[in-house]
Amino acid sequence: QFLRVTKQYLPHVARLCLISTFLEDGIRMWFQWSEQRDYIDGTWNCGYFLASIFVFINLFGQLSGCILVLSRNFVQYACFGLFGIIALQTIAYSILWDLKFLMRNLALGGGLLLLLAESRSEGKSMFAGVPTMRESSPKQYMQLGGRVLLVLMFMTLLHFDMNFFSVLQNIVGTALIILVAIGFKTKLAALTLVIWLFGINIYFNAFWTVPAYKPMHDFLKYDFFQTMSVIGGLLLVVALGPGGVSMDEKKKEW
């Protein structure tokens, strides 16, 4: 019923959510140009020129990628560009050694994989009526990889303490992420995770309650939009299904 009501605009909402962290970070680069440049120069001792080039690549790459995704033009090139931005930031900000942020960056990559798979579908739909083989393997494995990477976000939310709420959250959350990863009851599990993650995001990352001059404001804002991007990826799973490499698809053969 939910899909029937929302099928016209759910993919658009999913894409907007998915690119929101890149859009916010690109705008941040514009307004915090000197701070970002000084941070990169201080961390890598690379000089103002190279640090400025880094900030420009982040600003231009993210904003142009977002525009292309939202306008549905050259989406595959936009996705590859945004993959490059994720890799660049992972190295430049030493995220590679921070397991929590690394898993969240990988989850962002999973969302982009799903977007890439969707763009391949749209490309094929232009040739409707032309005999083709079954759904291409690259797309199937993009959807599988996207689903598996997306659930890494939830592994960063698990709490290893013994109070009742944490234990219940861990059990339910783990069950849902397994269902999404293996592709069983995928749309329902993904929609449940969207609702759960959105609630957690509003509660824990309410950056609008913190004054803008405090460092915590920027940290919560970044975390909020990064989580919204993962929500966008899950909404794509809800809208498009799990793909060919999933238990839901195999059930049709049984």
Contact 208, 222 (CB under 8 A): no
Are the beta carbons of 189 and 206 closer than 8 angstroms?
no
Q: Can you tell me the distance from the alpha carbon of 182 to that of 140, in angstroms, rounded to the nearest whole number?
A: 13
pLDDT at res. 252: 65
What confidence tens digit (pLDDT) does each residue in 133-143 have?
A: 344 578 888 88
pTM of this structure: 0.86
Taking only the tens place, the pLDDT of each residue in 176-212 is 888 998 888 899 999 998 998 898 889 888 999 999 8
Instruction: Tell me the pLDDT band of 130, cut-offs 50, 70 and 90.
Output: very low
Tell me the pLDDT of the chain averaged across its residues: 85
- Give the pLDDT of residue 254: 56
Give CA–CA dist 217/221, Å, rounded. 6
**Helix intervals (H) in the chain:** 2-6, 10-31, 33-44, 47-71, 75-92, 99-125, 137-150, 152-155, 164-182, 186-204, 215-240, 247-253
| pLDDT of 239 strictly over 90 | no
Contact in structure between 144 and 245 (CB atoms under 8 Å) = yes
